[in-house]
Amino acid sequence: MTSQAQEFKRNIESHTFVPKGQWVVGSSVSYSEHNEQNYQFLVIDGFNSDGYTFKISPMFCYAFRDNVAAGGRFSYGRTLTKLDGVTLNLDESTQFDVNDMYQLKHSYSAMGVLRNYINLGTSKRFGLFAETRLEIGGSQSKVVTKDGTSLTGTYTKTTDFGIGVAPGIVAFINNYTAVEVSIGVLGLDFSKVKQTTDQVYIGERSSSSANFKINLFSIGLGIAFYL
């Protein structure tokens, strides 16, 4: 009885999508506003609020070998929320009212990134990438609440550290300009929070989390220049 080993070839060809020596620079910017007037939803009644969220994230990378680039990404965000009134109706005898609340938050971060590009067939216009991120950042926020004649303020400072992977797709508009879309999938996050209320009461909290699923709130859309 004899057996023969049959050689099997998948005929997968590797093409250069981002050549060695190329620079990649770009940025993503997002801005959103919200305004609620006497909004009602489930246990929320009489919700009156307005505010905005702004975020900018510049990025630069250098391809130190074909289809592999390394660099950095920076991010800054600002969120403002004004709450004029809301009532929580848990049941007929339990209600909570929150009036005249103001929150301002600044967030910032710096990332080291490593990008691996994968071409789609022989296409030079469309490609995939996987971006590994090592991030350190934090935020500062203040919340001021007024109830009648009393005024309460809470200052919060947060420090964050995380490791994550964000796959994405690249679509070239011309030879040097591309649109990129990415989404967070994997991540390990560590956070430490310190709060000071009315400059008297101090509280601290530490947390860690692991994410192994698609995070729809981490979708990023930006434009990049390949030089």
Residue 1 has what DSSP assignment?
-
- Per-residue pLDDT of the chain (227 residues), as tens digits, is 455 555 655 555 667 788 888 898 988 877 777 676 665 555 566 566 778 888 888 889 999 998 899 999 888 988 888 777 666 665 566 555 666 777 888 899 998 989 988 887 777 788 888 888 888 998 888 877 776 666 677 888 889 888 888 888 888 888 888 888 877 667 788 888 888 877 777 888 888 777 766 655 566 778 888 88
- 31, burial (CB in 10 Å: exposed 0-12, middle 13-18, buried 19+): exposed
Give the start-end residues of each E strand in 148-176.
Answer: 150-172
| Local structure of 217: helix, strand or coil | helix
pTM of the shown model: 0.70
Look at strands 101-119 and 177-182 and give their pairing: unpaired
Helix, strand, coil % in the chain, rounded to nearest 5: 0, 75, 25
For residue 188, what are the contacts with CB-CB under 8 A and spacing of at least 6?
A: 162, 163, 164, 208, 209, 210, 211
What pLDDT does 47 receive?
Answer: 62
What pLDDT does 71 receive?
Answer: 93
What pLDDT does 181 receive?
Answer: 80
Query: CA of 140: how far to CAs of 64, 117, 154, 194, 195, in Å?
Result: 36, 35, 11, 10, 10
Contact 155, 202 (CB under 8 A): no
| Local structure of 180: helix, strand or coil | strand
Task: State the amino acid at position 163 in one-letter form.
Answer: I
